[in-house]
Amino acid sequence: MSPNFRIAFRFLTAKKRAMLMSLSCTVLGVGLFIVTQATTSGFEEFFVKTLLGTDGAMRIEDRIQDTLRSMEVAGSPDFQIRQREGVKYIEGVEEPQVIMDTVRSFANVRGVSAVLRGNVQVSSSFKTEDAQVFGIKLEDHRFVSELERKITTPEGLGKFQESAGSALVGRVLADRLQLTVNESIVINVRGESRRYVVAAIYETGVRDIDKTRIYIDLAEARSLLRKPTGATFLQISLHDPKRARQEAAHMEEVLRHSVRPWQEREKEWLSVFRALSVSSAITVTVFTLIASLAMFNTLAMIVLEKTKDIAILRSMGYERRDITRIFLWQAAIVLAIGAIVGGIFGAAVSWGVSLVPLPINTLFKTEHFIVALSPWHFVQAITTAVVMVMIASLVPARRAARLEPGDIVRGTAQ
Amino acid sequence: MSTSLHAVSAAPVGDFALRCSGLQRYLGQGDGRVHVLKGVSFEARRGQVYAIVGPSGCGKSTLLYLLGLLDQPDGGDIEINGQRMSNRDDFARTAARGAHIGFVFQFHFLMLEFTALENVMMPMRKLGRLTAPEMEARARMLLDAVGLGAKTHRLGTQLSGGEQQRVAVARALANQPSIILADEPTGNLDVKNSTLVFDLLTRLAKDNGQAVILVTHNPEIAQRCDVTRPMRDGLFV
Ligand SMILES: Nc1ncnc2c1ncn2[C@@H]1O[C@H](COP(=O)(O)OP(=O)(O)OP(=O)(O)O)[C@@H](O)[C@H]1O
Ligand SMILES: [Mg+2]
- Does residue B174 surpass a pLDDT of 60? yes
Kindly list the distances between the CA atom of residue A312 and the CA atoms of A317, B60, B136, B208, in Å, as whole numbers in the listed order. 9, 19, 20, 24
Alpha carbon nearest to ligand 1 atom 16, residue: B59
Residue B85, in any domain of the structure: no
In chain B, which residues touch A (CB < 8 A)? Answer: 27, 61, 65, 68, 70-72, 90-91, 94-95, 97-99, 101, 103, 105, 108-111, 113-114, 122-123, 125-127, 171, 175
Q: Which pLDDT value is given to residue B206? A: 86
Please state, in angstroms and rounded to a whole number, the distance separating the CA atoms of residues A145 and A127. Answer: 30
- Does residue A85 surpass a pLDDT of 60? no
In 3D space, the residue among B113, B120, B27, B11 whose CA is nearest the CA of residue B65 turns out to be: B27
- Does residue A325 surpass a pLDDT of 50? yes
Lowest model confidence (mean pLDDT) among A284-293, A311-320, B136-145, B180-189 = A284-293
- Does residue B122 surpass a pLDDT of 70? yes
Task: Identify the domain containing residue B226 by its residue range.
Answer: 47-72+99-236
Residue B31, in any domain of the structure: no
Q: How far away, in angstroms, is A348 Cα from ligand 2 center?
A: 59
Instruction: Please answer whether residues A21 and A298 qualify as being in contact, where contact means their C-beta atoms are separated by less than 8 angstroms.
Output: yes
The tens digit of pLDDT for each residue in A89-111 reads 777 888 888 889 988 888 889 99
Q: Which pLDDT value is given to residue B3? A: 44
Any atom of ligand 1 within 6 Å of the Cβ of B36 = yes
Q: Which pLDDT value is given to residue A373? A: 86
Ligand 1 atom closest to the CA of B234, numbered from 1: 14
Regarding predicted confidence, which is higher, A205 or A134?
A: A134
Looking at residue B215, which CATH number applies to its domain? 3.40.50.300
Mean pLDDT of the residues in chain A: 87
The total number of structural domains in chain B stands at 1
Q: Report the b/e string of A359-393 with b at 16+ CB within 10 A.
A: ebeebbbbeebbbbbeeebbebbbebbbebbbebb
Testing ligand 1's pocket by substitution, the residue of B53, B62, B183, B213 carrying the most ligand atoms inside 8 A of its CB is: B62
Residues linked to residue A93 through DSSP beta bridges, in sequence order = A231
pLDDT-derived band of residue A75, with 50, 70 and 90 as boundaries?
low
In 3D space, the residue among B237, B224, B222 whose CA is nearest the CA of residue B52 turns out to be: B222
**How crowded is residue A178: how many other Cβ atoms within 10 Å of its Cβ?**
11
Residue B162, in any domain of the structure: yes
Measured between CA atoms, how close is A332 to chain B, in angstroms?
Answer: 20
The tens digit of pLDDT for each residue in A192-203 reads 899 999 999 999
Please state, in angstroms and rounded to a whole number, the distance separating the CA atoms of residues B111 and B157. Answer: 9
Specify burial of residue B165 (Cβ count, 10 A radius: 0-12, 13-18, 19+). buried
Q: Which pLDDT value is given to residue B237? A: 86
Instruction: Please answer whether residues B43 and B227 qualify as being in contact, where contact means their C-beta atoms are separated by less than 8 angstroms.
Output: no
- Does residue A67 surpass a pLDDT of 80? no
In 3D space, the residue among B227, B179, B218 whose CA is nearest the CA of residue B201 turns out to be: B179
Count the helix, strand and coil residues of chain B and give each as a percent rounded to the nearest 5. Answer: 40, 25, 35
The DSSP code for A171 is: H
Instruction: Please answer whether residues A258 and A62 qualify as being in contact, where contact means their C-beta atoms are separated by less than 8 angstroms.
Output: yes
In 3D space, the residue among A402, A110, A337 whose CA is nearest the CA of residue A237 turns out to be: A110
Q: Distance between terminal CA atoms of chain B?
A: 42
Task: Answer whether B27 sits within 8 Å of A11, measured CB to CB.
Answer: no
Testing ligand 1's pocket by substitution, the residue of B38, B40, B58, B213 carrying the most ligand atoms inside 8 A of its CB is: B58
Kindly list the distances between the CA atom of residue A106 and the CA atoms of A64, A101, A230, A247, in Å, as whole numbers in the listed order. 20, 10, 21, 9
- Does residue A71 surpass a pLDDT of 60? no
Please state, in angstroms and rounded to a whole number, the distance separating the CA atoms of residues A316 and B118. Answer: 13
Residues 145-204 of chain A whose Cβ lies under 8 A from any Cβ of chain B:
none
Please state, in angstroms and rounded to a whole number, the distance separating the CA atoms of residues B229 and B54. Answer: 8
- Does residue A86 surpass a pLDDT of 90? no
- Does residue B224 surpass a pLDDT of 80? yes
Residue B220, in any domain of the structure: yes
Give backbone dihedrals phi and psi of A413, rounded to 5 degrees, phi first: -70, 140
Give backbone dihedrals phi and psi of B116, rounded to 5 degrees, phi first: -55, -45
Specify burial of residue A81 (Cβ count, 10 A radius: 0-12, 13-18, 19+). exposed
Decide: helix, strand or coil at residue A411: coil
Instruction: Please answer whether residues A179 and A169 qualify as being in contact, where contact means their C-beta atoms are separated by less than 8 angstroms.
Output: yes
The tens digit of pLDDT for each residue in B33-71 reads 999 999 999 999 999 999 999 999 999 999 999 999 999
Nearest to B111 among A309, A317, A407 (CB): A309
The tens digit of pLDDT for each residue in A261-271 reads 998 888 888 89
**How crowded is residue A270: how many other Cβ atoms within 10 Å of its Cβ?**
17
**How crowded is residue B233: how many other Cβ atoms within 10 Å of its Cβ?**
14
- Does residue B216 surpass a pLDDT of 80? yes
Residue B116, in any domain of the structure: yes
Chain B CA closest to residue A310: B111
| Cα-to-chain-centroid distance, residue A259 | 21
Instruction: Please answer whether residues A191 and A232 qualify as being in contact, where contact means their C-beta atoms are separated by less than 8 angstroms.
Output: no
Residue B124, in any domain of the structure: yes
Specify burial of residue A197 (Cβ count, 10 A radius: 0-12, 13-18, 19+). middle
Q: Which pLDDT value is given to residue B4? A: 47
- Does residue B9 surpass a pLDDT of 50? no
Please state, in angstroms and rounded to a whole number, the distance separating the CA atoms of residues B185 and B189. Answer: 8
In 3D space, the residue among B164, B192, B185 whose CA is nearest the CA of residue B61 turns out to be: B185
B12 residue type, one letter: P
In 3D space, the residue among A85, A36, A94 whose CA is nearest the CA of residue A60 turns out to be: A94
Residue A167 host element (H or E): strand A166-170
Measured between CA atoms, how close is A3 to chain B, in angstroms?
Answer: 6
Q: What is the DSSP string of A258-276?
A: EEEEHHHHTHHHHHHHHHH
Residue B34, in any domain of the structure: no
Count the helix, strand and coil residues of chain A and give each as a percent rounded to the nearest 5. Answer: 55, 25, 20
Specify burial of residue B71 (Cβ count, 10 A radius: 0-12, 13-18, 19+). buried
Please state, in angstroms and rounded to a whole number, the distance separating the CA atoms of residues B102 and B107. Answer: 15
Ligand nearest to the CA of B30: 1
Alpha carbon nearest to ligand 1 atom 3, residue: B28
List CB contacts of A78: < 8 A, sequence separation 6 or more: none
Q: Which pLDDT value is given to residue B8? A: 42
- Does residue B17 surpass a pLDDT of 50? yes
- Does residue B1 surpass a pLDDT of 50? no
- Does residue A73 surpass a pLDDT of 60? no
Instruction: Please answer whether residues B59 and B231 qualify as being in contact, where contact means their C-beta atoms are separated by less than 8 angstroms.
Output: yes
Residue B186, in any domain of the structure: yes
Chain A CA closest to residue B125: A3
Q: Alpha-carbon torsion A340, A344, A345, A347, what sign?
A: positive
Q: Which pLDDT value is given to residue A76? A: 55
How high is the ipTM of this complex? 0.90
Mean pLDDT of B75-90: 90
- Does residue B10 surpass a pLDDT of 70? no
